[in-house]
Structure 1
Amino acid sequence: MPAGHRNRVGIILGLVGAWALSAAPHADALSSVTLFGIVDGSLLYTSKTLNATTGQNAGHQYSFTDSGLSGSRFGMRGVEDLGGGMRTIFMLESGISVANGSLGNSNGNLFGRQAWVGIDSRYGNVKAGLQFSPFFLAIYDADPREMGYFGSGLIPYLNNVYVTGLFNPNGISYTSPEIGGLQASGMFAFGGSAGNFQAGRQYSGSVRYHFGGLTLDGGLYSGNAGGSAASIAIPSVVAFWGRTLGARYSFDNLTLKASYTQYKVAGSFNNRVYSGGASYGITPALNIDAGIWVTRDANDGSNNSILASSGLTYSLSKATVTYAQVGFVTNHGRMHTGLSVNNALNLPTGTTAGVNVGIRHTF
């Protein structure tokens, strides 16, 4: 190879190498994208099922159930350092069903759990897009079984308002930093209908106080029917007014939780849900929890239910957990509280018992 040609090649390779050495660390330091997910499958038995047509008992069931402990999902989260303590953040999260590979555990869209972009700084964070409401997150924080998919506060939530307040489209939210143990969050979701600002309009807020092992949560929600969210695969525009107060106290391996939540649905129930329970870490790998949820309709006291459940989880590794859960629910009047988000969300009048065993892997 001629000397001149070798020199030109050497210069080019040197420049490329210098660029690679300088640019690669720079890119890694400034931004990152992480793929994450949960795969959860289980077996479910309930002593009764609901006939949707007659409202009566359709007999017991044995079934494979998607997401016995946590909703199966996959997604991407990302961050870019903007300097000065500011970061761009984003989240795209899709619910899936491990039973058949379809979309599930969301509002029915591809990224129907979360799809938002925002800015995070020492002054708090702002997010724009599909997101959880502060009301739902306040209930989650005080739920004895962390809104699991079997026997938890997620059952009465979905029974009352389905996914409204859970997956909020067209939302803009702000969450403050924690100052002296106090943190506040607010969200406003536009209805998306031209010429009708109130259709589908939703707003929510929460306040959290944290001191040592004690956490107190309060939240509110108000949503209107209609709007663009009424046309998605699973509409999230039930018109309702919600309030919640909750407390959590942790010491050593024991956590105690209690809460009160009201779901006042337009033209329907005015349900008050009282819950309490505990979680205890027997060993680093073995945990047991239990909870009870009492629901009463303030408009008609004959409509009421009691849901109680307990669960045992064992960690095979940092990413894989096996679990067993048992529960029962007693329904009176027009109440149809269920035991499982999937396959037993609504159950008939009387007492129904259920058992759920499965495995969950996170990545």
Structure 2
Amino acid sequence: MKKSLIALAVLGASGVAMAQSSVTLYGVADAGVGKIEAGAPAGNDATDKTQFISGSLMNNGMSRIGVRGVEDLGGGLKAGFNFESGLDLDQGDNLGVGGGFWGRAANLWLGGNWGTFKMGRTLNPTYYGLATWGLTGTALYSVIGNTYNWGGGGLRNNSQLSYRTPDMGGFSAEIGYILKADNADRAKVDLNVIYANGPIGVAVSANKVKGISTNWSVGGKYSFSNFALAASYTNANNLANARRRGFGIGGTATFGAASLTLDLTRDTKNEWTGKKYTNGVVEAKYALSKRTFVYGAFLRLDDTNNYGIGVRHNF
């Protein structure tokens, strides 16, 4: 259970009451056993041998611990922050995910009924667009994410300045910008437009670094009865301005606490490897509670076979 520390501070010298603020400690513990040929997002589990896995390609999520806070400034205005660090349950090491100890998140924000303005290292708008319709959510073994590098923009941006609109009947949008001095002399813009309401989730995402062609993706998901169907198309470019693009299609069936997902991608152009691939993931999950589930997944990724079984607990 998330544990919150709620404090009401009083400025003793003047007797003036300060605004109420809260700080929440949260996290994820995820570990299992698997075999990885294609490499890992973090850690050192890509050895092509069956072994303990944590923070790897075949874990559902990265183990992490984080702290977030919010202060009510009055008049509908709030201020907040989020710091988050990755953990490797192999030895208890930190996994900075390319950004040091707080590599998963280190940001400050101001928000109100006009939207939210955020500054710092954070998940980027393209990522949130893909998460709207991804059948395996934000799993590390996402076939869409791994085939097309999460819409060509990766997962996170450093030094991002972003604005997100409030939710307007299911519609929202976010735009992020990185000054060229903060991105190797190449300014970057990253954005999404999302409709998520009831059984429908649709998103258009795009990001562009100066001197590199625009990355973009469009996808949608529709849930009905015990099933969900999704389809997408992605155009991604790497730093050498080589293109990889293709479509994704898949479905999920849910049976009480259990679910089964099949998600596929097919390249229509691939200048990254020079060969078009059909990739796919099969995922099975069983919820033990609202916060804990067991999972198993098999990922076929560019001629590599990868699998994992594990347990994830959110707190």
Question: Structure 1-normalised TM-score?
Answer: 0.72
- The answer on whether the counterparts of 2:143 and 2:301 sit within 8 Å (CA) in structure 1 is no
Question: Aligned residue pairs: how many?
Answer: 294
Aligned to 2:13: none
Displacement, 1:257? 1.5
Q: SS at 2:50's partner residue?
A: strand
Give me the whole-angstrom Cα distance separating, in 2, the residues matched to 1:144 and 1:124.
28
Aligned to 1:258: 231
Identify which of 347, 354, 358 aligns with 2:306.
Answer: 354
Identify which of 278, 285, 295 aligns with 1:323.
Answer: 295
CA RMSD of aligned residues (A): 3.1
Residues 182-229 of structure 1, C-alpha deviations (whole Å, 9 max, x = no match) = 211111112335xxx97142111111124542222101101258xxxx
Q: SS at 1:178's partner residue?
A: coil
Cα gap change, 1:330/1:125 in structure 2, threshold over 3 Å: closer, same or farther?
closer
Residues 88-143 of structure 1, C-alpha deviations (whole Å, 9 max, x = no match) = 12111111211222222622411111111111211111111111111121122222
Residues 7-56 of structure 1, C-alpha deviations (whole Å, 9 max, x = no match) = xxxxxxxxxxxx99xxxxx999821100011111111125xx479xxxxx
Matched, 1:63 2:54: no
Matched, 1:306 2:292: no
- Letter paired with 1:276: I
Q: Counterparts in 2 of 1:174-253, with a 5 A limit?
A: 174-192=163-181, 199-224=185-210, 241-253=214-226
- The answer on whether the counterparts of 1:297 and 1:304 sit within 8 Å (CA) in structure 2 is yes
Provide runs of 4+ in structure 1 moved above 3 Å.
Answer: 26-29, 157-161, 298-302
Q: Counterparts in 2 of 1:43-122, with a 5 A limit?
A: 43-45=33-35, 49=37, 60-67=48-55, 68-104=59-95, 106-122=97-113
Please identify which structure carries the higher helix content. Answer: 1
- The answer on whether the counterparts of 1:261 and 1:273 sit within 8 Å (CA) in structure 2 is yes
Gaps of 5+ in 2: 1-8, 11-15, 40-45
Give me the whole-angstrom Cα distance separating, in 2, the residues matched to 1:177 and 1:88.
15
Give me the whole-angstrom Cα distance separating, in 2, the residues matched to 1:298 and 1:218.
21
- The answer on whether the counterparts of 2:64 and 2:85 sit within 8 Å (CA) in structure 1 is yes
User: Rg bigger for which structure?
Assistant: 1
Please identify which structure carries the higher strand content. Answer: 2
- Letter paired with 1:77: R
Give me the whole-angstrom Cα distance separating, in 2, the residues matched to 1:151 and 1:136.
12
Identify which of 130, 134, 139 aligns with 2:130.
Answer: 139
Identity %: 25
Q: SS at 1:135's partner residue?
A: helix
Give me the whole-angstrom Cα distance separating, in 2, the residues matched to 1:112 and 1:180.
33
Cα gap change, 1:150/1:215 in structure 2, threshold over 3 Å: closer, same or farther?
closer
Displacement, 1:353? 3.1
